[in-house]
Structure 1
């Protein structure tokens, strides 16, 4: 599961432009986050599907994917995704302004606007598209006689390209919406999207190979559930043992959910993702519901909530990058991070962190009430 990197990239962009370059231009910060988030989207599209190739390589069905092949597949999807979104900007961003929500674009714009004021105010559809593409492409390849390992690799290649296209297209729409809100130049943003997408496509292969060498896809440390699902779907169709009854039952449930007014995609994600991811999502949804009832969605309170959640997303993204660097560098084991920390110490640290966070929230709310009273 990933969340768009636009928000963490916006936070980093403000730090780069203000601290390093001694500037405070909201449009420059927006350009930096556009390039950064484009890279994340390409990486997400690739890592959702292409580890299936490494899993087959471990089973001896195919050779280890090369850096060149991974880069070319990702590059094809990245460029096509950006180019497909350029002619759609006017129809789905400009003309639909105020109708289509674009939540990540709105949150990113809030972060950048708060940063320009010196801090005074301071979701995965494409994986579903990849599964549908895999089903269709694998069936067509099997019908055409392209079966076996070659057919499965071809299906994953097609699915990877479509997944990257969907991921970068979605990110491009969010970034262009952010730029539209802030008054950025669309052409410059689109060039930035291409730059970020191309750089990410050329480097993601090395990252995947490094991760596979360090932990191995399919292991406890690197489970890769999306790629495992892609692998199982492809093998099931090619070998003729895919339980189609479950697929049709799922499709029927989708129709039922939609008739009942329930978001079928959200239900599917809740069933599909592990409990350690779905439980915090449910908690966040409950908190949002309670806050909406309390504040009646006042604009000022909504803006503060967006900024608070943006900070959580940015913090998680930055800490994830830091921990990954420490792990790959071999520093994590030496300083006792992760599993090497005793359970009691982990629990105590979590309690202390929770107390600190609650204290900060209470202090902030008291300060906000005092400012409102004045």
Structure 2
């Protein structure tokens, strides 16, 4: 990663809309449409982050959809949108994705720590973190977006600006207007295909959704699998072949080397090897992964994140210095430029007042178990990592920004400080996690805000109005995503009868004051209200949440839908769990440091893997995430990356004939029909997954009927050749994506 010069000359480009022009910008319809689209893409992003631990930028698809809808309004006799209105839509619509990432990466860890996803706690973390990140980005705008315009490219923000400018220039030209409508049609087509495919695959059991092959000797316990879903295919296409290949390589290491190696060396053991609880020879590949490889992956992810952070230290220092200068009134070019419309931010006094009020609200929020030290840590780490996130986003883009690495560093420092002052035990789990969650969302939203402000800088938007728009969009998305997270967890929660877990388990003498009822599909079979027991030790049975009846008898173990281990309900129906891989890492760090329970040997093995990769010149973070994820999740991302490789290779050959520059090729790739189709796949497949999860409780009888019928009559779903047959519809999905991406991208018309 290149270091930044001490002073960067300001070579401000001429914005597309001049600073002295006044056109419609911050309108009610633009803010409302952006907020609604932000909620839709936020929901799909939350689903993605629970599945594979990452999201993709929503700005470009939101911008294209906004352009199309406003054009339809214009054809119906209404007023078409201006480029600045479309910029406000994409700004407000981008907030949902970043908040979804922060929520999905951190808060599910609270389930692993033995607590509940309390709705008020989720809402507070989402709202406070989202707003804090935006406010902390505002004083950084001039030092990052303006002063370092030539140095920090902000790839997604620049690509989004190209889309908006191309759309504006196409007005009045029937050919270009038709081409723009065609681009929007590709997104809607991808959305429809993804939605239909996922519904037929999962809801109607049309074909097996995870083909798998388990090897025998000599590669005993090795396996290869692939979740053939449209959303993961789209993610791989967007992030590109290099990152996709690195992630899949990590999965190959885990499933075709580490797991078979553990099975080979552990086959002769006659006692369980901690932290496993049964003999290795009796373990399935998934059992070995859960008992041992997850810790290796956690160590690799933590090391990769910290290495990325160390590399960014020069940028941290320069950004902090420039931000402090802007606070002190020595910002870049302020005397001559701040009277311009294009250089007006929210006044600094309101930024300071708003930030202080948010910190006070954090400290007083009872569900967060917060104290003064925790609030101060949020203030310090929030500003530090918002700066880091905004800077890294400018260099490597939002999709590659190691927000989880910053969160890991926050938790490590926070837990070590807590340990030094003697704060250990359950309540401080929640305090530490609240610090990490709010900082994670703040840094994620700061990076997204910087991308939006880069787009506005290029098209001539008003920064102050963009900042208002993303504040409004972040607030609305945070209020909506919290209930969705809880409902997704409830829909996949399994209430395991205690006889299957720990027969004879009894509570201690502590009074149980909290009560709860069953949620999700099993609620129809048992409507009793039980007392809640949060078991934190391993005596007599696994730690976790239990339901106890009025006589003090333990009835159920509550296995959560996110990161739970029971994938079958008592009636035999299958349950689709969410892995939330990075949330598990957060819980390991908190428990490992505060309770000294982490199996450090396995964690250090993962650290060594990351360090060896870094010494070899290979970026370790993406590889480490692949070690941590199931191979079934990283394999479809790899397939999508290979489709992108084939498309880019064809497009580059075409670009050579036009003598296009490298920057023009990259911009064309970012706005290509393939990226639009992949965005539609992601939105459609993820939305279908959310709908299926929400309706699982209502349509449980239908789901059981379809499952039984497909098991008996559908060779694509069950049978000797089901794994092979299920690849056929997936191959059609791949062909459609390649066909869309191979279309040549015309450069935007010149003004």
When the two structures are superposed, what TM-score results if normalisation uses the length of structure 1?
0.83
Query: In the TM superposition, what is the alpha-carbon distance from 1:151 to its structure 2 partner?
Result: 1.3
1:169 paired with 2:446, answer yes
> Deviation of residue 24 (structure 1)?
3.5
The whole-number CA distance in structure 2 between the counterparts of 1:114 and 1:267 is: 36
Distance 1:70 1:353, change over 3 A: closer
CA distance in 1, matches of 2:72, 2:649: 38
Higher relative contact order (CA 8 A, sep 6+): 2
Q: Residue in 2 aligned with 1:48?
A: 105
Please give the alpha-carbon distance, in whole angstroms, between the structure 1 residues aligned to 2:128 and 2:134: 10
Do structure 1's residue 229 and structure 2's residue 579 form an aligned pair? no
Decide whether the 8 Å contact of 1:7 with 1:313 is kept in 2: no
1:277 CA displacement = 4.6
1:314 aligned partner: 679
Report if aligned partners of 1:107, 1:310 keep a CA contact under 8 Å in 2.
no
2:122 is aligned to: 70
| Structure 1 pair 270–78 and aligned structure 2 pair: CA distance change class (3 A) | same
Q: Which residue of 1 aligns with 2:412?
A: 135
1:347–1:115 Cα change, 3 Å? farther
Shift of 1:359: 4.6
2:70 corresponds in structure 1 to 17
- Aligned match for 2:163, one of 111, 117, 124: 111
1:315 is displaced (CA, Å) by 0.9
What is the 5 A alignment of 1:105-254?
105-116=157-168, 117=170, 118=177, 120=179, 122=183, 123=399, 124-215=401-492, 216-219=561-564, 220-244=576-600
Cα offset for 1:17?
2.5
Whether contact under 8 Å (2:67, 2:86) holds in the other structure is: yes
What value does the CA root-mean-square deviation take over the aligned residues? 3.2
Q: In the TM superposition, what is the alpha-carbon distance from 1:313 to its structure 2 partner? A: 4.1
Residues 119-159 of structure 1, C-alpha deviation per residue, up to 9 Å, x if partnerless?
Answer: 63642511111111111111211222221111111111111
* 1:90 is aligned to 2:435: no
Comparing 316-325 with 85-94, which one deviates more in the overlay?
316-325
Pair 1:2 & 2:55 matched: yes
Judge conservation of contact 2:108–2:583 (CA < 8 Å) in 1. yes
Cα distance in 1 for partners of 2:463, 2:153 equals 19
1:263 aligns with 2:619: yes
> Alignment partner for residue 729 of structure 2, among 349, 353, 356?
349
Using the TM superposition, name which of 155-164 and 311-320 deviates more: 311-320
Change (3 A) 1:323 1:253: closer
Q: Which moved more, 1:78-87 or 1:23-32?
A: 23-32
CA distance in 2, matches of 1:192, 1:150: 36
1:27 partner SS: helix
Write 1 or 2 for the structure with the bigger share of strand: 2
Partner secondary structure for residue 223 of structure 1: coil
| Cα pair 1:6 1:37 within 8 Å, conserved | yes
Match of residue 371 from structure 1: none
Moved more, 27-36 or 246-255: 246-255
Q: Name the CA shift for 1:270/1:335 in 2 (closer, same or farther; >3 Å).
A: closer
Structure in which a larger fraction of residues adopt helix:
1
Q: Gaps (5+ residues) in structure 1?
A: 369-374
Return the alpha-carbon distance in structure 1 between the equivalents of residues 87 and 699 of structure 2.
33
| 1:295-350 per-position Cα deviation (integer Å, ceiling 9, x unaligned) | 469245444322225314421332122442344235998699x9868345643322
1:23 shift after superposition: 1.7
Question: How far apart are the structure 1 equivalents of 2:616 and 2:591?
Answer: 34
Instruction: Give the CA deviation at 1:161.
Output: 0.7
- Given that 1:10 and 1:30 are in contact with CA atoms closer than 8 Å, whether structure 2 keeps it comes out as yes
Distance 2:613 2:738 in 1: 37
Contact 1:326-1:332 at 8 Å conserved across structures: no
Structure 1 CA distance for aligned equivalents of residues 454 and 593 of structure 2? 39
Deviation at 1:231, TM superposition (A): 1.1
Computing the radius of gyration from Cα coordinates, the structure with the larger value is: 2
